[in-house]
Amino acid sequence: MDMDATDITELDDDVEAKDKATIPIKTYREIIDSDSTPAADVLALKSNPPQPTDDIPVEHFISQDFFNLEMEKMWSRVWQFACRDEHVAEEGDYFVYDIGRYSILIVRQADESLKAYHNSCLHRGTKIRPSGSSGYAPNLQCPFHGWTWELDGTLNEVPCSWEFPHLDYEANRLPEVQVESWNSFIFINMDLDAPPLLDYLEVVPEHFENWRFENWYTYQHVQKELNCNWKVALEGFMEAYHTPLVHPEMTHVVGDWNMQHDVFGDHTSRDLCPLGVSSPTSTLGLSEQELADRMLLGDPESHEDGVPVPEGKTARIVMAEQMRQKFAEDYNIDLSGLSDAECIDSLKYNIFPNMILYGGPGLPQIQLFKPHGMDPDKCIMENFNLRPCPPGETRPDPAEPYRIKEEESFTTVPGTNEFSGSVLDQDTSIMRWQQEGMHASKKAAQTLSRYQESRIRRIHETLVKYIEG
């Protein structure tokens, strides 16, 4: 399969040029040009090659046959985020990553490297560790009859071994899958012939050169069960076209329709969303001081009320100053090399198929969208929220997952602030309606906008390449 990344030196400004000719909306670049720092090189890049405008069949979201093809041809061949380094920090630490019918057991080795195995016993198939579990084990013992493997996958104990004179121990090493860690994010790939992770990630490693998360940890891990296809949930976070109707109060503090959407290759895209400015759809006319008063960053503890905005400064500049000061004081981290936009904006990178990774320190989180079992109408959304390790201390243990049902509010999750939780509730409350509506559809297709939903289109193009490839 040909999976060449788009060459970012061949960028296309046509879409933006056309938009500017017809719609009086400031671009993301125009907004960050009013900051106190020049635009960071990485944020100055644009890449939105022309795409077709064909409809997307709803079959992609509601068909069991299509879901099964995704499972067999796509999930089995892509790099996918499983957990962070802190989840398997020491020798013998393990983490079970489940995706559809597959289950993968990631294990930290004695030499600090990682190995990952199909989580299925070679005796009679039992999962060696339960789905969704993590922890420590000195070896990998099946809970049914006790076949036991070393951490490196060597079979070394079979109870009643005289019963198995026909057993080839070497051939019954645990079958491996690929596993690699980048920036402390651990990815697996079941395809042993797949290209290395860094190639798969296209521009992302280069873009994240100044956004390092090695010395961070997962302080909150939320899982929400949803009654929709995993792509319905994912794609709800890939455009801000819905903001005026779904999050009307957010339009006052977020430049939703100002967002920049970039498509870099088959596997990666991003949107850059300015915070601390009002959307073109906001009618409140907030002052810079009012914008600063309403501004929230991802980590609730990083927000302080009552920051004055002096004459000649903007809410964005003041918030960026506050971020730099907080990181220096609390974490001994110097953000002076980052632009204002890198400090405060939502810099949302999509890594195909199902990961959203935020760049910069302002909203440090991962969002993950996974099928729930083998049902195309169900998925699980996961949020891993990150925080720097306290200076001089060892990395704290990662938070245990906190699971909520569709009808439960994100605001009930300990450590979630009211505003962020209610925004996520708004996003997820529309998803069942979309899933049910697609089943009810006479048109049986979606018609996407050419720019604001261009990244969604790319997801489907790449998905079809895997399915047909």
Q: Which residues contact ligand FES by CB under 6 A?
A: 121, 123-124, 126, 142, 144-147
Minimum CB–partner distance for residue 123 and ligand FES (Å)? 3
Nearer to Fe ion, 176 or 425 (CB): 425
C-alpha distance from residue 315 to each of 39, 132, 307 (Å): 17, 42, 9
Per the document, the length of the chain is 469
Residue 20 contacts which entry, ligand FES, Fe ion, none (Cβ below 5-8 A, type-dependent): none
Q: What is the dihedral of CA 252, 263, 194, 214, to 10 degrees?
A: -40
Nearer to ligand FES, 101 or 443 (CB): 101
CB–CB of 87/366 below 8 Å? no
What DSSP string runs through 175-222? PEEEEEEETTEEEEES-TTSPPHHHHTTTHHHHGGG---TTEEEEEEE
Nearer to Fe ion, 266 or 427 (CB): 427
Give 211's Cβ-side CA count (13 Å radius): 28
Residue 443 contacts which entry, ligand FES, Fe ion, none (Cβ below 5-8 A, type-dependent): none
Nearer to ligand FES, 121 or 338 (CB): 121
Contact partners, residue 186, CB within 8 Å, separation at least 6: 81, 82, 83, 84, 85, 87, 88, 95, 106, 114, 179, 180
Residue 145 contacts which entry, ligand FES, Fe ion, none (Cβ below 5-8 A, type-dependent): ligand FES
399: which 2 tokens?
A: 């938070």
Nearer to ligand FES, 176 or 249 (CB): 176
Residue 433 contacts which entry, ligand FES, Fe ion, none (Cβ below 5-8 A, type-dependent): none
Closest residue to Fe ion, Cβ-based? Answer: 427
* Residue 288 contacts Fe ion per CB under 5 A: no
Minimum CB–partner distance for residue 427 and Fe ion (Å)? 4
Q: Which stretch binds Fe ion (CB under 5 A): 272-280, 297-305, 401-409, 425-433?
A: 425-433
Angle at 382 between CA 262 and CA 369, to 5 degrees: 55
What DSSP string runs through 371-394? EETTEEEEEEEEEEEEEEPPTTSP
Backbone phi, then psi, for 11, in 5-degree steps? -85, 155
Residue 26 contacts which entry, ligand FES, Fe ion, none (Cβ below 5-8 A, type-dependent): none
Q: Which x/- pattern over 377-416 shows residues binding Fe ion (rule: CB under 5 A)?
A: ----------------------------------------
C-alpha distance from residue 137 to each of 150, 210, 253 (Å): 10, 35, 48
Residue 466 identity (one-letter amino acid): Y
Q: Which stretch binds Fe ion (CB under 5 A): 147-155, 302-310, 424-432, 435-443?
A: 424-432
Q: Which x/- pattern over 49-78 shows residues binding Fe ion (rule: CB under 5 A)?
A: ------------------------------
Residue 205 contacts which entry, ligand FES, Fe ion, none (Cβ below 5-8 A, type-dependent): none
How many other β-carbons are positioned within 10 Å of the β-carbon of residue 413? Answer: 19
Burial class (CB in 10 A: 0-12, 13-18, 19+), 457: buried
* Residue 239 contacts Fe ion per CB under 5 A: no
Minimum CB–partner distance for residue 97 and ligand FES (Å)? 20
* Residue 427 contacts Fe ion per CB under 5 A: yes
Residue 427 contacts which entry, ligand FES, Fe ion, none (Cβ below 5-8 A, type-dependent): Fe ion
Nearer to Fe ion, 93 or 427 (CB): 427
Minimum CB–partner distance for residue 178 and ligand FES (Å)? 24
380: which 2 tokens?
A: 């699980």
Nearer to Fe ion, 86 or 239 (CB): 239
**Which of 468, 368, 447, 467 minimizes the C-alpha distance to 67?**
467
Minimum CB–partner distance for residue 148 and ligand FES (Å)? 9
Minimum CB–partner distance for residue 122 and ligand FES (Å)? 8
Task: Specify which residues 350 forms β-bridges with.
Answer: 269, 356
What DSSP string runs through 210-244? G---TTEEEEEEEEEEESS-HHHHHHTTS--TTHH
Sheet holding 148-149, edge to edge: 140-141, 148-149, 155-157
Nearer to ligand FES, 130 or 195 (CB): 130
Minimum CB–partner distance for residue 6 and ligand FES (Å)? 46
Minimum CB–partner distance for residue 142 and ligand FES (Å)? 3
Nearer to ligand FES, 164 or 241 (CB): 164
Residue ranges binding Fe ion (CB under 5 A):
427
